[in-house]
Amino acid sequence: MLKTSLTSVAALLGFAGLSVADVPKVATDIVPVHGLVARVMQGVGEPSLVVPVGVSPHHHSMRPSEALALSQADVVFWMGEALAPWLEGAVEELAADARVVELLDLEGGLALPFRQGVGFEAHDHTDETAHGDDHDDHSEAHGDNHEHEEHDGHEGHDHEKGHSEDHEGHEGHDQAAHEGHHHEGLDPHAWLAPENAMLWLDVIAAELSALDAENAATYAANAAAGKLEIQQTKAEVMASLSPVRDGGFVVFHDAYQYFEHSFDIHAAGAIALSDASDPSPARIAEIQQVVAQKQVSCVFSEPQFNPDLVATVLEGSGAKTVVIDPMGTGLQIGAGFYPALLKELGAAMAGCQ
């Protein structure tokens, strides 16, 4: 059914011929990825956004304009099937002739497995990272059979080799399944690690340069400037987070461990296992115990979640609540988005005392 519908969309939209003289047409999945690509393309062109601002990346019905962006793309940058399982078929169908870069699959990035337990005490993954040589474990977990093309020391995803069949979409189960077993595989919220963002800037520049040699120097300079901006922002945010280094906060769902890992802070637990379903009464009771036992002073909610659940968890605790968003809803999209996202998250966490 999906393949048929996507084929119909593609037929209605048509496939425009791609001119090598033009600036590459670029499609991105989520706003943080769009921001990084926009930084590299600054002064040259603008990428398209497939998942609109404020929309969950886990499930979305594409509009014709978004399908058109994929069908016309010379290159697609996206997080991968682990974050947006619905998008995999669309990329394969509509962007069949495009270069496709799955950022979660790139060698050398930080990759963290899902944390387990309400208070994360059941299995501590803090030191289980996938940097450099450890990426082989990352690839094995994905059933990785991709070939990569080298660009200036970085590896680009070869779309022709197909996607792994071993991913398991962590958002698609019902509540009973969520409460009945642990999450497995890698946490896909990897854009919240500045180290990953800086790696991806270089990969983005290399991919664009391979398609557009005329602007290669601009792409490289923009990537270098973007990395410097991220390094400076990380230093500023790191200094501001000293008050929350004791882990006295709880998050609504476990989307922030990359940020925590990079900034040396640690959440005490998560109200919900994922953002796909409400937590069970048993889980709420457990997180209330965590709040009391660990003297949690702040709970971070998110714009799309029911505030009554947070109020229930906080009842009688005296803890405060602050709304944060790993997708940066409300921030201006474009070349300055990513540093602004880090600053917003850092300021919210540091200010919740």
At 190, the amino acid letter reads A
Q: What local confidence, expressed as pLDDT, does residue 4 receive?
A: 42
Task: Answer whether 0.85 is exceeded by the pTM.
Answer: no
**Angle value at C-alpha 275, between 270 and 277, nearest 5 degrees:** 100
Question: What does the alpha-carbon distance between residue 160 and residue 140 come to, in Å, rounded to a whole number?
Answer: 19
Q: Could you tell me if 202 and 228 are in contact, meaning their C-beta atoms sit under 8 angstroms apart?
A: no
Q: What local confidence, expressed as pLDDT, does residue 207 receive?
A: 98
Q: What local confidence, expressed as pLDDT, does residue 183 receive?
A: 52
DSSP string, 293-329: HTT--EEEE-TTS-HHHHHHHHTTT--EEEE--TT-T
Q: What local confidence, expressed as pLDDT, does residue 58 receive?
A: 84
Question: What does the alpha-carbon distance between residue 32 and residue 333 come to, in Å, rounded to a whole number?
Answer: 8
Which residues is 145 bridged to in the sheet? none
First to last CA, the chain: 50
Question: What does the alpha-carbon distance between residue 27 and residue 68 come to, in Å, rounded to a whole number?
Answer: 10
From-to residues of CATH 3.40.50.1980 in the chain = 2-14+24-108+136-168+178-235, 241-351
Q: What is the pLDDT of residues 274-330, one digit of tens each?
A: 666 678 889 889 999 999 988 888 899 888 777 888 888 888 888 888 899 999 999
- Give the CATH number of domain 2-14+24-108+136-168+178-235: 3.40.50.1980
Indicate if the alpha-carbon torsion angle 289, 171, 77, 154 is positive or negative.
Answer: positive
Q: What local confidence, expressed as pLDDT, does residue 275 receive?
A: 65
Q: What local confidence, expressed as pLDDT, does residue 20 receive?
A: 40
Question: What does the alpha-carbon distance between residue 115 and residue 119 come to, in Å, rounded to a whole number?
Answer: 9
Report, at the CATH architecture level, how domain 241-351 is classified: 3-Layer(aba) Sandwich (3.40)
Question: What does the alpha-carbon distance between residue 305 and residue 148 come to, in Å, rounded to a whole number?
Answer: 39
With a cut of 50, which residues of the chain have pLDDT below it? 1-21, 122-182
Q: What local confidence, expressed as pLDDT, does residue 138 receive?
A: 38
Q: What local confidence, expressed as pLDDT, does residue 29 receive?
A: 97
Helix (H) or strand (E) holding 154: strand 154-157
Q: What local confidence, expressed as pLDDT, does residue 279 receive?
A: 84
Q: What local confidence, expressed as pLDDT, does residue 193 receive?
A: 98
